[in-house]
Structure 1
Amino acid sequence: MALHVLHYRHHGRAQWGVVANGAITPVPGEFKTTAEFIEANPVERLAVLSDPMLSESEVQWLSPVTANQQFICQGANYRQHMIESGMDPDVKKFNMIFTKATSCIVPADSPVVKPNEVQFLDYEIELGLVLKRDVTSRQTVTDGNLHDYIAGAVIVNDYSARDIQIPQMQFYKGKSYRTFGPVGPYLCLFERHDMPNLKDLDLTLTVNGTVRQSDSTANLVYGPAETLTELSGVHDLRTGDLLATGTPAGCALTIPSPEKQRAAAQLPEAEKWRLFLKMQEERPQYLRAGDVVEAHIVSRDGSIDLGVQRNVVVDEAE
């Protein structure tokens, strides 16, 4: 059975614990990083812990992915999101990979700070996968051996400054402002028989109670096994690293139709981006101070429930 782990602070001390029905059973030991925790605590060891000692309401959430780990992301990995991003899913035959700065990682209940220079702040709910082992050579990862590579899953919200990311062509900067990467609240650790549930998780994101994004991981274009196989050929991965697997349709971002893009290509660069920004100004979906964003990922049978992220958008202090 999947186990839900919380990284938390209690009486000034960072700890890890197994969570069930709002009660925490602390895990003995000191683990400063996600890698240290995973390497020292196989699911079988955690499953025999007993005697809950704390209520979740007594503790402060921390991110279950620590800032020393890598933060790797997939882009446009749901068919409908490809379409709304101006891509033809029948033509795009490559896996889009980028990274976020780990300095953007914050606990799941943190405020999201909208920088003063950012006008178009967007949301992106994503299933995050946490690595179980180091990968330092090309591997063939399959659904059959995926459990050897994936320790568990978390909720990620890939907040994005669209006016930085797209006109400036800076994915890294536009997606890496501090607080733009809330993770958690829980790290759900899997046993081998839990792995098929990765293909049956429902993702839901709301803004001020209104559903903006809703989809299933059954609709991922590039799944975890083929993505890890591809990444292993070009990039070293470490225990505890985070792979965010892409977001469903429903973002605030709107992209011109292919016809309009072809027409815009004939315009001077400044005019092209002026028209793009004007199009975004007409989208009320972009986040503003005071907006409340909630993200939830759960399996249909209820055996996996990654909890709820709740972020309030705040303006950057002058």
Structure 2
Amino acid sequence: MAIHVLHYLHDGRAQWGVVANNAITPIPGEFKTTAEFIRANPVGQLLMLDGPTIPEADVQWLSPVTANQQFICQGANYRQHMIESGMDPDAKKFNMIFTKATSCIVPADSKLVKPNSVRFLDYEIELGLVLKRDVTSRATITDENLHDYVAGAVIVNDYSARDVQIPQMQFYKGKSFRTFGPVGPYLCLLEKQDMPKLKELVLTLSVNGTVRQNDSTSGLVYGPAETLTELSGVQDLHVGDLLATGTPSGCALTIPSPEKQRAAAQLPEAEKWRLFFALQAERPQYLQDGDVVEARIVSQDGSIDLGTQRNVVVAEAA
């Protein structure tokens, strides 16, 4: 059975609790990091939790992924997103991996600060997976043993400064500005029988009430098991680390057709990027001061409901 957990601030103290029907049952103990919390609180133990509750409205949300954990991301990982980006999902033979600075992690209801130097600020709703165990050598991870490696799921919004990321080829820099990584509100802890639902989650993102992104995790090109298997052959992973699995179609970014890209490749660099910026400037979808972004992920049967992120865009203080 899936258990929804909230990391929150109440009476000046950071706590963890199980959430149901807008009420929180506090979990005994103090856990400063996501890793500490996961190690000490198996799902079976939380299912037996009982005691007084507090209204969720009385607490302040914190991110369920703490800033000491790794923030690893997949790019171009939904079929329709690849197609709109001019890529062939059936021809792509590599898993695009990058990282974000953990200093960009903020609670799910935080303001999104638009840096004054950034012109093209984009949104990317993503399913985030939180790891259950350390992986320090090559491992073979399958759908059958995924529950041994994944503790649960969260919403991630991989906000991106496209005018940094694309022309400068700086994924890390363009996606790591402070506030560019809201996580939560809920960490949904999963058991073995819940894992198949990771393939049928519905992701929806709206801006000012208009839906921009809407897709299912059934559209993922590289799934969690094969991605974690690949990563295990490259780097160490740790309990509580976060893997953001990519975003569906519908972002503000628009990519020139392959024909136009080939033509642009013959142009001087300055002219090529002038045309790129002109193309992006025609897109009203890019976020502006005052825009409200809402992101939601839920399973078809409602047993997994990761809550709703709500971020208001604000200009960076001068």
TM-score over 0.5 for the pair: yes
Q: Determine helix, strand or coil for the equivalent of 1:18.
A: strand
Task: Provide the rounded CA distance (Å) in 2 between the counterparts of 1:219 and 1:53.
Answer: 38
Aligned twin of 1:312: 312
Q: Deviations over 1:22-78 (max 9, x none)?
A: 110101001000000000000011110113421000000000000000000000000
Residue 309 to residue 221, structure 1, CA distance change in 2 (3 Å):
same
Residue 211 to residue 237, structure 1, CA distance change in 2 (3 Å):
same
Q: Which moved more, 1:193-202 or 1:82-91?
A: 82-91
Aligned twin of 1:128: 128
C-alpha displacement of 1:265: 0.3
C-alpha displacement of 1:11: 1.0
**Code of the aligned partner of 2:56:** E
**Code of the aligned partner of 1:2:** A
Task: Provide the rounded CA distance (Å) in 2 between the counterparts of 1:146 and 1:234.
Answer: 18
Task: Structure 2 unaligned segments of length 5 or more: list them.
Answer: none
C-alpha displacement of 1:155: 0.1
Q: Deviations over 1:127-153 (max 9, x none)?
A: 000000000000000000000000000
Q: Determine helix, strand or coil for the equivalent of 2:194.
A: helix
Contact 1:205 1:214 in 2 (8 A): yes
Contact 1:26 1:53 in 2 (8 A): yes
**Code of the aligned partner of 1:280:** Q
Task: Provide the rounded CA distance (Å) in 2 between the counterparts of 1:11 and 1:271.
Answer: 57
Q: Does residue 37 of the first structure (1) align with residue 41 of the second (2)?
A: no
**Code of the aligned partner of 1:306:** L
Aligned twin of 1:76: 76
C-alpha displacement of 1:87: 1.4
Q: Deviations over 1:177-229 (max 9, x none)?
A: 00000000000000111111101100000000000000000111000000000
Counterparts in 2 of 1:233-312, with a 5 A limit?
A: 233-312=233-312
Task: Provide the rounded CA distance (Å) in 2 between the counterparts of 1:188 and 1:267.
Answer: 49
C-alpha displacement of 1:92: 1.3
**Code of the aligned partner of 1:38:** I
C-alpha displacement of 1:88: 1.9
Contact 1:23 1:52 in 2 (8 A): no
C-alpha displacement of 1:86: 2.2
Task: Provide the rounded CA distance (Å) in 2 between the counterparts of 1:90 and 1:189.
Answer: 32
Q: Which moved more, 1:82-91 or 1:194-203?
A: 82-91
**Code of the aligned partner of 1:146:** L
Q: Determine helix, strand or coil for the equivalent of 2:147.
A: helix
Task: Provide the rounded CA distance (Å) in 2 between the counterparts of 1:239 and 1:20.
Answer: 25
Q: Deviations over 1:78-125 (max 9, x none)?
A: 011011222122221111000000000000000000000000000000
Task: Provide the rounded CA distance (Å) in 1 between the counterparts of 2:239 and 2:88.
Answer: 35
Counterparts in 2 of 1:118-267, with a 5 A limit?
A: 118-267=118-267
Number of positions where the alignment pairs a residue of Structure 1 with one of Structure 2: 318
* Two-structure CA RMSD over aligned residues (Å): 0.6
Q: Determine helix, strand or coil for the equivalent of 2:119.
A: coil
**Code of the aligned partner of 1:84:** E
Task: Provide the rounded CA distance (Å) in 1 between the counterparts of 2:227 and 2:53.
Answer: 39
Task: Provide the rounded CA distance (Å) in 1 between the counterparts of 2:86 and 2:316.
Answer: 31
Task: Structure 1 unaligned segments of length 5 or more: list them.
Answer: none
Task: Provide the rounded CA distance (Å) in 2 between the counterparts of 1:92 and 1:42.
Answer: 38
Q: Determine helix, strand or coil for the equivalent of 2:308.
A: strand
Task: Provide the rounded CA distance (Å) in 2 between the counterparts of 1:84 and 1:200.
Answer: 22
Q: TM-score, normalised to structure 2's length?
A: 0.99
Q: Deviations over 1:224-269 (max 9, x none)?
A: 0000000000010000000000000000000000000000000000
Identity %: 83
Aligned twin of 1:20: 20
Task: Provide the rounded CA distance (Å) in 2 between the counterparts of 1:156 and 1:84.
Answer: 21
Aligned twin of 2:101: 101
Contact 2:154 2:183 in 1 (8 A): yes
Aligned twin of 2:63: 63
Task: Provide the rounded CA distance (Å) in 2 between the counterparts of 1:184 and 1:239.
Answer: 17
Task: Provide the rounded CA distance (Å) in 2 between the counterparts of 1:51 and 1:21.
Answer: 15
C-alpha displacement of 1:17: 0.3
Q: Determine helix, strand or coil for the equivalent of 1:225.
A: helix
Q: Determine helix, strand or coil for the equivalent of 2:309.
A: strand
Q: TM-score, normalised to structure 1's length?
A: 0.99
Task: Provide the rounded CA distance (Å) in 2 between the counterparts of 1:290 and 1:191.
Answer: 40
Contact 2:121 2:161 in 1 (8 A): yes
Q: Determine helix, strand or coil for the equivalent of 2:235.
A: coil
